Structure 1
Amino acid sequence: MKSLILKSSTFSLLLLLLLSCKNEPKATSIETNNKANGNIKYARGFDIQHFENYTKLIIKAPYQNADKSFEFKLTKAKSSGNLNSIQTPINSIVVTSTTHIPMLELLQVEDKLVGYPNTNYISSKKTRKLISKGFIKELGHEQSMNTELLLDLNPDLVVGFSLNSNNKLFSTIEKFGIPVILNGDWLEETPLGRAEWIKVFGVLFGKEKEADSIFNKIEYDYLKVKAIALKSLNKPTVISGGLFKDIWNLPAGESFEATFLSDANTNYLWKNSRGKGSLSLNIENVFEKGQEADLWISPSFYKTLDQLKKANDIYPQFKAFKNKNIFTFVNKQGEEGGIIYFELAPARPDLVLKDLIKIAHPELLKEYEFTFFERLN
């Protein structure tokens, strides 16, 4: 598995995680009188509304280009069998992406996780201990989950991902009478928007206040360190990404990665490009524009400068290569080879931003130690 992870592109790995995902619950129309305003600041993909006897969780962006939202009635009363009515707090859960693990741990409900597809992907030491003790069952591959074992576990809820509305796996799970909620945090366009999805888990586990408090602290730290970065008069130029099958993939100017680089007070050379995903460029265009860039962030999955040098003759011609100012997150892995960045970064954008500021402006965070990144040697 380690070999698979290290050889895949970032997009490919994330796509693999997403394919572990799930189907959509049925869209409902729940009474909306006496709606209380939600406290969602950045996330666009969900909302939480409070009523006298229940709470409504609305998933507005469960997958790309979704044309409808999905509503769930959360109540302390026992569920009537309607998959859109969930008794809370839930006591057991199955999730399908490692990005959910840190949110469970932050809320201290990781012990409620009873199953996971392909547990080798999980890097967290705390959750790995639960796996080794048999408390979290291996549910097989994401695309062909062991539904028989899942039925035996009978979790209160499955939280999954899906690329579209057609997911047979999650339809099958729902036929067993197990509710499924699609988590669309990966579609959020800002770092804090992704992190705010902890509030979804908070309301499900009856820990809404705790989730709000945790997110507020992450938000505070993020904005605080962003303000520190703006004190620097130096604004180093940055390139990102690397070649995959002769195409250089790098973040578009409106992507959440570009937001990170902007908030770290750097001059990302493609900051004015349009798009919220990635750009696919030929190497000549990247070299022409980026050969004199001060920093190179995330050069694909290369672990050493020597690997990078052998991969393409043009790489050593970049100024950042010559000055050894290339930084990667792929070298920090869990015991089974999972890359920690992919698991923890969506929940902790404050730590990602601190890493990037440490790279771009090391004088501003002298005592801070990298969480994800390190210099490529």
Structure 2
Amino acid sequence: MNKRTNLLTKVMLVVLAFTLVLTGCNLEQKDEEILESQQELEQMEEKIDADTGLVYEGSMELKYAKSFSVNYYKGGYKTIVDWNGRKTLLVPEGKEVPEVKSDIDVIQLPIKSIGAFTSVVAAELRPLELIDKMTLVTTERDRWHIPEVKQMMDEGQITYVGKNSAPDYELIESINPDLILITVKTVHGENDVITKFDEMGVKWISHGSQRETDPRGRLEWIKLIGALLDKEEEAEDFYEAQLKKIAEVEEKVANLEGEKKKFASTFFSKDIYYVRNKGDYEVKMYELSGGEYILSELNPEEDGNTKMNAEELYKGIEDVDILFYNTILGRSVQSIDDLVSNAEYLKDVKAIKEGRVWGYKPHYYQYSDQVADMIVDLYTIFTTPHGEITETDFFFLME
């Protein structure tokens, strides 16, 4: 083979190799394009909400709340899932109502009037300057501690419609609120009430902030109000400011020296004592403030209360440093004598002997939007030498 032939052969081999490389690259590129297309299709399928047919765009970020969720869809649509798992579609003003599954409730925005079957709703509307949305309540005028609500009731803008468990349905129908927020499946709202609402065509959402296991999660329900009334940004700003204030207390607690004060929280009705479970949001609030729960093994995974008789309570809290008695939920107890008169041997409980029993001021539950200030109050109670203070904004020392 001469040099010319040898050179030609080498050139042909180089061309062949280059062609094979290009072919391989094209095949590889085609495979990548097909894979990307498949992924895009899958993502598009995932973004379609099966219950409403709407294109999913994102979800509300929740830091602590676990009892509700908010999803956002193309076109300004939203869905809310409440603590009972009930799904509600919010349809923007002027937009069509899509075909939805039969168990999905639909509310047309804007929401101009709200019925509050729990006074906590007022505390969630207040920071957003939306109390004027309330048109009916199930809390009597004399039991309100929010001046704006009392004034609105006096002026006829808010109507009392009876107890949660037995409201005046004809009155509700005449007021015709756009939405009722009600705590269901508890003593504050029974199933027959919401069944009647469904028959009447009254829109409702289950309010469940009390189901949260962290006070910061309970406070985060203001974001649900923000979603309902297109005030998400304002709700987020308020919430973050409250979190910052709580974090400042946490930092102080982390730098405390010595043992933490042991606490307990109780109230009684008909000789039965109700004691907070370890997993309850109120216990967490006390702990964030620098206290140590003396009943730390009492149902750590559950919220709410456990029932005890006086003897069981005594055994559990005998050595407690500070006792909190819920003067709002429980039998009228305003002094240590009132407390001991129900069970005399409770006088041997350390906190009672030393006069360290704190009650709740009447406005406590109607100011749940100020949980950061409550935590500041509790930190003050836990860290101030006994006798130097007798009250805070939300608590008072029993005599």
- Return 5+ residue gaps in structure 1 as ranges: 1-27, 63-67, 334-339
- Return 5+ residue gaps in structure 2 as ranges: 1-49
Q: 1:169 to 1:282 in 2, by over 3 A?
A: closer
The TM-score normalised by the length of structure 2 is 0.76
Bigger shift: residues 285-294 or 99-108: 285-294
For the 8 Å contact 1:43–1:193, the answer to whether it is kept is yes
For the 8 Å contact 2:181–2:206, the answer to whether it is kept is yes
Q: In the comparison of the two structures, how many residue pairs are matched?
A: 334
Which residue identity does 1:344 align to in structure 2? Y
**SS of residue matched to 1:35:** strand
Take 1:173 and 1:287, find their aligned partners in 2: how far apart are those partners?
Answer: 44
For the 8 Å contact 2:68–2:82, the answer to whether it is kept is yes
Deviation sequence 1:25-76 (CA, Å, 0-9, x none)? xxx92235433132111111111122220232322422xxxxx431323312
For the 8 Å contact 2:390–2:396, the answer to whether it is kept is no
Take 1:142 and 1:248, find their aligned partners in 2: how far apart are those partners?
Answer: 24
Q: 1:296 to 1:214 in 2, by over 3 A?
A: same
For the 8 Å contact 2:90–2:109, the answer to whether it is kept is no
Take 2:282 and 2:313, find their aligned partners in 1: how far apart are those partners?
Answer: 17
Take 1:350 and 1:272, find their aligned partners in 2: how far apart are those partners?
Answer: 26
Take 1:292 and 1:280, find their aligned partners in 2: how far apart are those partners?
Answer: 20
**Residue in structure 1 matched with residue 285 of structure 2 by the alignment:** 260
**Residue in structure 2 matched with residue 215 of structure 1 by the alignment:** 239
Give how far 1:119 is off. Answer: 2.8
Deviation sequence 1:197-250 (CA, Å, 0-9, x none)? 111111111211111111111122122212212221131122321544444321
Q: 1:287 to 1:154 in 2, by over 3 A?
A: closer
Q: Select which of 195, 199, 210 maps to 1:175.
A: 199
For the 8 Å contact 1:293–1:318, the answer to whether it is kept is yes
**Residue in structure 2 matched with residue 69 of structure 1 by the alignment:** 86
Q: 1:317 to 1:250 in 2, by over 3 A?
A: same
**SS of residue matched to 2:319:** coil
**Residue in structure 2 matched with residue 238 of structure 1 by the alignment:** 263
Give how far 1:124 is off. Answer: 0.9
Q: Select which of 287, 304, 319 maps to 1:277.
A: 304
**SS of residue matched to 1:232:** coil
**Residue in structure 1 matched with residue 126 of structure 2 by the alignment:** 105
Equivalent runs, 1:1-377 vs 2, <5 Å? 29-31=51-53, 33-62=55-84, 68-77=85-94, 84-120=105-141, 121-163=143-185, 167-234=191-258, 235-274=260-299, 275-298=302-325, 300=330, 301-329=332-360, 332-333=361-362, 340-345=363-368, 347-362=369-384, 370-377=392-399
**SS of residue matched to 2:107:** strand
Bigger shift: residues 248-257 or 274-283: 274-283
**SS of residue matched to 1:216:** helix
Query: Which fold has the larger relative contact order, with Cα–Cα distance below 8 Å and residues 6 or more apart in sequence?
Result: 1
Deviation sequence 1:146-167 (CA, Å, 0-9, x none)? 2222222222212212107972
Q: 1:32 to 1:225 in 2, by over 3 A?
A: farther
Take 1:123 and 1:74, find their aligned partners in 2: how far apart are those partners?
Answer: 34
Decide which structure has greater helix share.
2
Identical counterparts, % of pairs: 21
Which residue identity does 2:181 align to in structure 1? V
The TM-score normalised by the length of structure 1 is 0.80
Q: 1:285 to 1:369 in 2, by over 3 A?
A: closer
Give how far 1:97 is off. Answer: 0.5
**Residue in structure 2 matched with residue 12 of structure 1 by the alignment:** none
Give how far 1:269 is off. Answer: 0.9
**Residue in structure 2 matched with residue 25 of structure 1 by the alignment:** none
